[in-house]
Amino acid sequence: MTCNIGKYERIIRGIVGIVVIAWGVMEQNWLGAIGLIPLGTALIGWCPPYAILGINTGCKTKND
């Protein structure tokens, strides 16, 4: 797994993930667990759909 998410996108994904999880906790709704997806991708810096589609939003590769 190589990094395919840029710095600013990781920050945005992290914030969105935390907000969705907090909403789920406040509303006592299990749908807040969906926030784990953007939070997880932000933490590891890799997004599976981006890898499938060949998208890279800012991480440097060895060839750059």
What SS3 state is found at 21?
Answer: helix
> 0.75 cut: is pTM over it?
yes
Q: Which amino acid is at 54?
A: G
Give me the pLDDT at residue 64, please.
55
Mean of pLDDT values over 22-46:
96
Rg (CA), the chain: 13
Task: Tell me the backbone φ, ψ of residue 28, rounded to 5 degrees.
Answer: 50, 50
CB distance 18 to 39 below 8 Å? yes
Task: Tell me the backbone φ, ψ of residue 2, rounded to 5 degrees.
Answer: -100, 150
Mean of pLDDT values over 46-53:
94
